[in-house]
Amino acid sequence: MSQISDACGGGDGARALVPGTLRGYRTWRLLRRAPEDGALPLTSVTRGVRWAPTLTAECAPLEPGVDGLPEGAGAHRAPTAGCRCGIYGWYDPHDADILRARVFGVVQASGLVVMGERGFRAERATIAAVVTRNRRLARACERAGVAVYRRKRDLLADFPPEDLTALLGPRPAPADGHHPVTPPQRLSAFDGVVLAAMLARLAVIVLAVVTLPPLPAVMAAAAAHAGVLAFLAARAAR
């Protein structure tokens, strides 16, 4: 839990609070019974928070004995740096699988948002779309104005990840030693000229060896060699 918290801006590793809206991905548990108060039959995975189409976070201590919130929790508007409160979302849809659950979806976060390396904690989140084949959930979502998809890839085509480079800065290099492969360098213009000259010399020598007696062939090869050297010297001197 604390690793997830850290990745989503928990503890002291958080960046500045960001106003505005932010797209994030997450998962939910599906409730067996539909709530009667207009809430969706969805709860958070780690805490049993029932979700309405739009949810507002409150900072509240967990049950005793559970990996709890820091001292001072509950006395501030959620979220805040140094706490773990707020509604969690991941920037990358694949990261949402860290908390596997039956329903996957996309939220639009607003209000105060604390940004971590891989996810955020937000004051408010509105469910934009979910992936489900459960008819009860699909009906409840459609009533609430939440888009329903049968396939994750269709949802991601309509709600692709946002480019957060401007907000997060360049992403750090992966820690496992894998680095992006640099494309092979193309030949420089001079290298190309050298290659062409060497090929031309080879052609002259082969032609001389095939068509001339030994001594004139050697002289032709030497002349070709000298010609290439003179040509390269002239190019290099430019």
Stretch that binds Zn ion, among 41-49, 71-79, 93-101, 124-132 (CB under 5 A): 71-79
Q: Does 85 bind Zn ion (CB under 5 A)?
A: yes
Retrieve residue 187's tokens.
């030949």
Minimum separation from the CB atom of position 82 to Zn ion (A): 8
Minimum separation from the CB atom of position 74 to Zn ion (A): 7
Determine the Cα–Cα distance for residues 110 and 84; give it in Å rounded to an integer: 17
Minimum separation from the CB atom of position 34 to Zn ion (A): 30
Stretch that binds Zn ion, among 1-9, 33-41, 77-85, 211-219 (CB under 5 A): 77-85
Minimum separation from the CB atom of position 2 to Zn ion (A): 14
3-state secondary structure of 175: coil
Residue of the chain from 18, 55, 73, 155 that contacts Zn ion (CB under 5 A): 73
Q: Does 83 bind Zn ion (CB under 5 A)?
A: yes
Determine the Cα–Cα distance for residues 188 and 39; give it in Å rounded to an integer: 65
Number of residues that bind Zn ion (CB under 5 A): 4
Q: Of 85 and 205, which CB lies nearer to Zn ion in the complex structure?
A: 85
Q: Of 59 and 146, which CB lies nearer to Zn ion in the complex structure?
A: 59
Q: Of 85 and 109, which CB lies nearer to Zn ion in the complex structure?
A: 85
**Count of beta carbons in the 10 Å neighbourhood of residue 22:** 21
Answer for the pair 96, 118: CB distance below 8 angstroms, yes or no: no
First-to-last CA distance in the chain? 65
Residue of the chain from 59, 103, 128, 129 that contacts Zn ion (CB under 5 A): 59
Give φ, ψ of 237 to 5 degrees.
Answer: -75, -10
State the helix-helix crossing angle for 214-236 and 189-211, rounded to 10 degrees: 170
Q: Does 140 bind Zn ion (CB under 5 A)?
A: no
Residue 108: C-alpha distances to residues 25, 118, 150 (Å): 9, 16, 20
Retrieve residue 188's tokens.
């420089």
Q: Does 115 bind Zn ion (CB under 5 A)?
A: no
Q: Report the interface residues with Zn ion, using CB under 5 A.
A: 59, 73, 83, 85
